Amino acid sequence: MCDGWEITTIEGISDIVPKRLAKYNGSQCGFCSPGQVMNMHALLEQNEGNVSMKQVEDAYDDVICRCTGYRPILDAMKSFAQDSPDLKKTTTVDIEELGKTYCHKTGKRCHGECHPRKGQQLQIVGSDAVWYRPDTFDELFKILADNSGKKTRMVFGNTGQGIYNQELDMAGFDVLVDIRGIQGLYSVNFDPTVVLGAGLSITQLIDIFTRTQSTPSFGYLANIKEMLMRVAGRSVRSMASWAGNLMLKHLHPEFQSDVYVSLEAANVKLIIANSAGSNTIPISQFLKTDMTNKVIVAMEVPAMTDDYIVRLYKVAQRAENSHSFVNAGVRMKVDTNNKFLVMEKPCIVFSGISKDFIHAVQTETYLAGKSLVDPSVIQGALTTLASEVNPDPNIDAVEPSVAYRKNVAIGYLYSYILDVVGDTAKGIYRSGSTPLIRPLSSGQQSYDTKPLEWPLTEPMIKLEAIDQTTGRADYINDIPIEQGTLYAAFVISTVGNAKLQSMDPSKALSMPGVLKFITAKDIPGQNNCFSSIASEIPSVPEE
């Protein structure tokens, strides 16, 4: 399955980032430190060392630490940023060294490839399923044809299983087809039309949109990019393809897909292929298209004149790493020099209302040809939207109330109108369109020290820091399991506030491999976790 991959672990990189993290006291228990280091190494390598402090913060939206409070970690990583006030920035030599990998056995740089890909289809036959990895579309469609009638699933990043675990569990399929090896899914073309392959990850899509948004007729991509930045976390965005997200929406129309809403607002077209050939459809037709034995190949991203105004909206429990309660995309062609006239039927698309409600068709029809600075038009649009937005109370177990989602949807349209008309609106209303933007985080640590008395009170790197940040520190999971190792598990009472009258472990002891049932009576000495503390805390309950 890893054929052709190049996998770099912390043992294979230079010590530039580990030393920086250690110097800033960014490790405490050190368990997460290798992950923090590899995340920063990848960010610097991807951007050739040229990163901003915001990019660093954005890259750390899902690398978890429970000890340090993140401040020293972010301080260390931000010190590599080009806009960092810290003078200890990465030097040119550092950046050159970042891209080098090292052999942990010899300490020398690695050269060549450990396992060059042979460029051939793989097939792995398991006890319950067959795993294929085709290299071409022809191979893919032949696999699908040969396994007609079997329960088949095409797999890319497999991030959707985190949402619909039981339905997408790989154990439930007869045939699994890994399509990551099909090079035709990774096309990136800009001449004459922008065509982006279905195999591009959401992170790659963000990067392309970031570089393209300054191009004439593609400025609207800045808003699409910001919405995509709020999809899941960086690790999911880097693994998941945008097309896979659309297929999840196709399978579950109730899924609150930020990607689908964004691409609908962008009015993209999808190139879909099967064994008979390919055809191009507007994304608005996608959810009604039969995708049996078909695959999304790419999307066409249209150019738009400046009078098209595209905005995306999302409300969720958190800014990132959270599904939308309700999200929306709005695209209108507006004549800003003629009373903000809506020149054609707009696009107003939602997720999180119900599985069947995508476009606010009545509101779209109502707004065509009307002025957005006419109070009666605004009121009419909001009233029309309120009449057609009827949230499903059972769309999702964690969704907020019907009334809340309805008001949020109406608020999106009102915010859009205020945003478009800008200073034409009275000052008391303008804040309704102003997004809440979190500034860069910052923090300071101060402590008493007298440089004249150093080394007394001199700040020092803790002794184990380098071992932790370079991944050399050993933890329990790193210790090889010895033959005959025993495992223990707590037996939990089914009643919280009660005294146990008796315990009968006979059934458990009769099970193969169970050797002993331990109670407080088996503990020698005092049954106390902290014998030096006056208030005794028993190791195990006595009653």
How do 175-178 and 130-133 pair as beta strands? parallel
Instruction: Give the pair of three-digit tokens for residue 300.
Output: 């066409």
SS3 of 524, please? coil
Same domain, residue pair 249 and 296? yes
Same domain, residue pair 260 and 331? no
Rounded to an integer, what distance in angstroms lies between the CA atom of residue 224 and that of residue 227? 5
Per-residue pLDDT, 184: 95
Q: The domain that contains 265 carries what CATH number? A: 3.30.465.10
Instruction: Give the pair of three-digit tokens for residue 492.
Output: 């939990």
Asked whether residue 532 carries a pLDDT value surpassing 80, the answer given is: no
Domain that holds residue 415: 307-443
- Are the CB atoms for 201 and 158 separated by under 8 Å? no
SS3 of 139, please? helix
Same domain, residue pair 335 and 228? no
Give the CB-side neighbour count of residue 27, counting CA atoms within 13 A.
Answer: 28
Same domain, residue pair 177 and 311? no
Per-residue pLDDT, 305: 96
Q: What is the dihedral of CA 129, 133, 136, 137, to 10 degrees?
A: 30
Mean pLDDT over 426-437 rounds to 86
Residue-wise pLDDT for 237-263, tens only, equals 999 999 999 999 999 999 999 999 999
Give the contacts of 216 (CB within 8 A, at least 6 positions apart).
Answer: none
**Domain final residue pick, 250, 282, 304:** 304
With bands split at pLDDT 50, 70 and 90, how would you rate the model's confidence at 399? confident
Residue length, the chain?
A: 543
Long-range contacts of 114-120 (CB under 8 A, 24+ apart): 114/6, 115/2, 115/3, 115/4, 115/5, 116/4, 117/3, 117/4, 118/3, 118/4, 119/4
Query: At residue 216, what are phi and psi to the nearest 5 degrees?
Result: -50, 140
Residue-wise pLDDT for 103-157, tens only, equals 656 666 665 555 555 556 788 888 889 999 999 999 999 999 999 999 999 999 9
Provide DSSP, 210-235.
HHHTTSTT-TTHHHHHHHHTTSS-HH
Name which of 10, 90, 126 is nearest 466 in CA terms.
Answer: 10
With bands split at pLDDT 50, 70 and 90, how would you rate the model's confidence at 160? very high
Same domain, residue pair 201 and 267? yes
With bands split at pLDDT 50, 70 and 90, how would you rate the model's confidence at 528? confident
Same domain, residue pair 194 and 144? yes
- Are the CB atoms for 420 and 399 separated by under 8 Å? no
Residue-wise pLDDT for 432-489, tens only, equals 888 888 889 888 878 788 889 998 888 889 999 999 999 999 998 888 989 989 999 8
Residue-wise pLDDT for 37-61, tens only, equals 999 999 998 888 889 999 999 999 8
Same domain, residue pair 354 and 432? yes
SS3 of 375, please? helix
Q: The domain that contains 85 carries what CATH number? A: 1.10.150.120
Rounded to an integer, what distance in angstroms lies between the CA atom of residue 476 and that of residue 3? 31
Residue-wise pLDDT for 314-324, tens only, equals 999 988 888 99
Same domain, residue pair 7 and 78? yes
Name which of 346, 414, 58 is nearest 226 in CA terms.
Answer: 58
Asked whether residue 88 carries a pLDDT value surpassing 70, the answer given is: no
Asked whether residue 396 carries a pLDDT value surpassing 90, the answer given is: no
Same domain, residue pair 78 and 91? yes
Per-residue pLDDT, 96: 64
Residue-wise pLDDT for 326-384, tens only, equals 999 999 999 999 999 999 999 999 999 999 999 999 999 999 999 999 999 999 999 99
Per-residue pLDDT, 70: 86
Q: How far from each other are the two terminal CA atoms of the chain, in whole angstroms?
A: 53
Query: At residue 5, what are phi and psi to the nearest 5 degrees?
Result: -80, 150
Highest mean pLDDT out of 48-57, 218-227, 528-537:
218-227
Same domain, residue pair 123 and 252? yes
Q: The domain that contains 324 carries what CATH number? A: 3.30.390.50
**Domain final residue pick, 304, 338, 370:** 304
Name which of 199, 181, 200, 185 is nearest 120 in CA terms.
Answer: 181
Higher pLDDT, 289 or 398: 289
Mean pLDDT over 489-494 rounds to 86
Can you give the pTM of this predicted structure? 0.85
**Domain final residue pick, 287, 304, 321:** 304
Same domain, residue pair 125 and 137? yes
Same domain, residue pair 420 and 460? no
With bands split at pLDDT 50, 70 and 90, how would you rate the model's confidence at 423? very high
- Are the CB atoms for 272 and 297 separated by under 8 Å? yes
Whole-number percent of the chain with pLDDT over 90? 64
Number of structural domains found in the chain: 4
Q: What is the dihedral of CA 162, 322, 157, 160, to 10 degrees?
A: 40
Rounded to an integer, what distance in angstroms lies between the CA atom of residue 318 and that of residue 315? 8
Number of helices (H), then strands (E), belonging to the chain: the values are 18, 13
With bands split at pLDDT 50, 70 and 90, how would you rate the model's confidence at 93? very low
Strands (E), 165-282: 175-178, 188-189, 194-197, 269-274, 277-282
